[in-house]
């Protein structure tokens, strides 16, 4: 019928189709950020209403379950592709990248758990933001007495303790908590993200949003749990003792991509100021820092998927990315002069974001490496 066409046309290979999908997601995201976020970033940093709108917009673009396999309702991005997305969003808004990443992490945790019922309840609705989920488990990294304990009882688990950090109150409907069992194993389970008292007397209560110097619109809160009765079918996983430390080592490079995006955001400010002030040393500073960020980015992508690259090399790159976010954002402040001190100034905002990205997902090793880089520069 169409001999010529049949002869020439071949359906794209899976790899090519994949590249097309990723390019589409990144283009879609960049267009959205250019049109809606770039001029609103200062407001989004402080106003939960505007941040909520931005999160809903990402839902409309169907990009809120990027790492979840397509078979489970997500976009099936690889770690490399997701890292490109993180850098991109962090370049436009720290608050937006930080808020949405909690939900994307929760989606990934659900996708990799064995609880099929929970997966069916949540995963098909997470890409569009119809169901939004946060996380609260960083306290599992703290040594000493567990901050949140779970004890098995007939009808499930009783959970008590304090969660020091949960981002997304009034954005997310639920969150995944991490709690420690008496034998040290780590239990991860779905909880409501609103104050509740159970008929059994169990309770969960959240603080008011914490007043933060950066990304205060993300409504980060603490939670108190008192004998909260958790049904067994809300458990995602029970992981071996100290899994959190192994996961932190495995993912040491991932958190660094926020810092890289932040460094680029600062470099954009340098560029804008140069366009206005035309001072040659600003351009030279931009060129020199930009080259460092590009080199660091390239090195991070080179080792991201590698099991052979030793942990210490990845840790060093994480420290380098944090250091670049700090130095670039400091440069943005310097060239913006006194105006950087206005609450509404983008250099001030990016500088404060760099502070947050310096400690988010921090481990003792990351803390030490960050200090080493500071002392060396
Ligand atoms: C604005 C904001 C929002 C956040 N939102 C979330 C969220 O939504 N979900 C979430 O899970 N986390 C969240 N976090 C937590 C974030 O990832 C942590 O900041 C980060 O993991 C560092 O933990 P920490 O601040 O609690 O400090 P620390 O508890 O001090 O932990 C830092 C490191 O120090 C070690 N450490 C602590 N005390 C000791 C000690 N006495 N001796 C030796 N080592 C010690 C810990 O093992 C850890 O590795 C948020 C943090 C911020 C600032």
Which letter, b or e, does each residue of 216-226 get, where b requires 16 or more Cβ atoms within 10 Å of its Cβ? bbbbbbbbbbe
Is the pLDDT score of 353 beyond 80? Answer: yes
Regarding the beta carbon of 23 and ligand 1, being less than 6 Å apart is answered: no
pLDDT tens-place string over residues 41-86: 999 999 999 999 999 999 999 999 999 999 999 999 999 999 999 9
Q: What is the mean pLDDT of residues 343-350?
A: 96
Confidence at residue 11, expressed as pLDDT on a 0 to 100 scale: 66
Cα–Cα distance measured from residue 103 to residue 87, given in angstroms and rounded to the nearest whole number: 17
Tokens of 202: 């169990």
- 104, 71, 77: which is closest to 19 by C-alpha? 77
Token pair 């991109």 is found at 88
Position 1 confidence tier, pLDDT thresholds 50, 70, 90? very low
Give the SS3 label for residue 117.
helix
Q: How far is the CA of 139 from the centre of ligand 1 (A)?
A: 6
Cα–Cα distance measured from residue 82 to residue 72, given in angstroms and rounded to the nearest whole number: 17
Regarding the beta carbon of 221 and ligand 1, being less than 6 Å apart is answered: no
Is the pLDDT score of 341 beyond 60? Answer: yes
Q: pTM of the prediction?
A: 0.95
Regarding the beta carbon of 197 and ligand 1, being less than 6 Å apart is answered: no
Cα–Cα distance measured from residue 127 to residue 73, given in angstroms and rounded to the nearest whole number: 7
Question: Percent of the chain, pLDDT > 70?
Answer: 97
The length of the chain, given as a count of residues:
377
DSSP code at position 306 = -
∠ Cα 372 337 286 (to 5°): 55
Q: What are phi and psi of 338, to 5 degrees?
A: -60, -30
- Best mutation site among 45, 51, 103, 138 for ligand 1 pocket (most ligand atoms within 8 Å of CB): 138
Position 307 confidence tier, pLDDT thresholds 50, 70, 90? confident
Cα–Cα distance measured from residue 85 to residue 97, given in angstroms and rounded to the nearest whole number: 9
Please state the atom number of ligand 1 nearest to the C-alpha of residue 166. 8
Give the SS3 label for residue 12.
coil
∠ Cα 326 368 362 (to 5°): 70
Cα–Cα distance measured from residue 104 to residue 131, given in angstroms and rounded to the nearest whole number: 11
- Considering the chain, what is the average pLDDT of its residues? 95
Q: How far is the CA of 362 from the centre of ligand 1 (A)?
A: 6
Name the residue with the closest Cα to ligand 1, atom 28. Answer: 142
Q: What are phi and psi of 359, to 5 degrees?
A: -120, -10
pLDDT tens-place string over residues 163-209: 999 999 999 999 999 999 999 999 999 999 999 999 999 999 999 99
pLDDT tens-place string over residues 213-266: 999 999 999 999 999 999 999 999 999 999 999 999 999 999 999 999 999 999
Confidence at residue 2, expressed as pLDDT on a 0 to 100 scale: 42
Confidence at residue 7, expressed as pLDDT on a 0 to 100 scale: 54
Tokens of 102: 């909690």
Angle separating helix axes 94-111 and 48-60, nearest 10 degrees: 50
Q: What are phi and psi of 340, to 5 degrees?
A: -60, -20
As a whole number of Å, the CA-based R_g of the chain is: 22
- Best mutation site among 166, 360, 370 for ligand 1 pocket (most ligand atoms within 8 Å of CB): 360
């Amino acid at each position: 019928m169409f001999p010529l066409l049949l002869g020439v046309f071949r359906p794209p290979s899976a790899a090519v189709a994949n590249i097309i999908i990723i390019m589409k997601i990144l283009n879609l995201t960049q267009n959205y950020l250019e049109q809606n976020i770039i001029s609103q970033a200062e407001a989004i940093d402080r106003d939960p209403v505007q941040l909520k709108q931005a999160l809903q917009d990402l839902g409309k673009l169907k990009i809120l379950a990027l790492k979840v396999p397509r078979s489970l309702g997500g976009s099936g991005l690889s770690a490399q592709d997701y890292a490109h997305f993180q850098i991109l969003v962090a370049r436009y808004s720290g608050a937006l990248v930080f808020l949405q990443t909690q939900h994307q992490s929760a989606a990934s945790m659900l996708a990799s758990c064995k609880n099929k019922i929970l997966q069916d309840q949540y995963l098909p609705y997470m890409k569009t933001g119809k169901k939004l989920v946060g996380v609260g488990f960083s306290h599992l990294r703290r040594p000493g007495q567990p901050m949140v304990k779970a004890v098995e009882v007939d009808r499930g688990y009783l959970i008590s303790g304090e969660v020091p950090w949960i981002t997304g109150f009034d954005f997310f409907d639920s969150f995944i908590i991490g709690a420690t069992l008496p034998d040290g194993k780590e239990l991860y389970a779905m909880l409501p993200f609103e104050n509740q008292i159970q008929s059994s007397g169990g309770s969960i209560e959240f603080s008011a949003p914490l007043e933060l110097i950066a990304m205060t619109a993300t409504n980060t809160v603490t939670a108190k749990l008192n004998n909260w009765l958790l049904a067994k079918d809300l458990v995602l996983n029970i992981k071996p003792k100290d899994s959190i430390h192994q996961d932190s080592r495995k993912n040491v490079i991932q958190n660094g991509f926020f810092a890289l995006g932040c460094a680029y955001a600062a470099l954009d400010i340098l560029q804008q100021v140069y366009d206005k002030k035309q001072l040659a040393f600003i351009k030279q500073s931009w060129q020199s820092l930009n080259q460092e960020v590009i080199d660091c980015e390239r090195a991070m992508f080179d080792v991201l998927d590698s099991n052979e690259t030793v942990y210490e090399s990845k840790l060093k790159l994480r420290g380098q990315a944090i250091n670049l976010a700090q130095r670039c954002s400091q440069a943005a402040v310097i060239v913006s002069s006194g105006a950087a001190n206005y609450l509404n100034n983008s250099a001030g905002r990016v500088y404060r974001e760099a502070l947050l990205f310096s400690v988010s997902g921090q481990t003792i090793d990351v803390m030490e490496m960050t200090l080493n880089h500071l002392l060396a520069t």
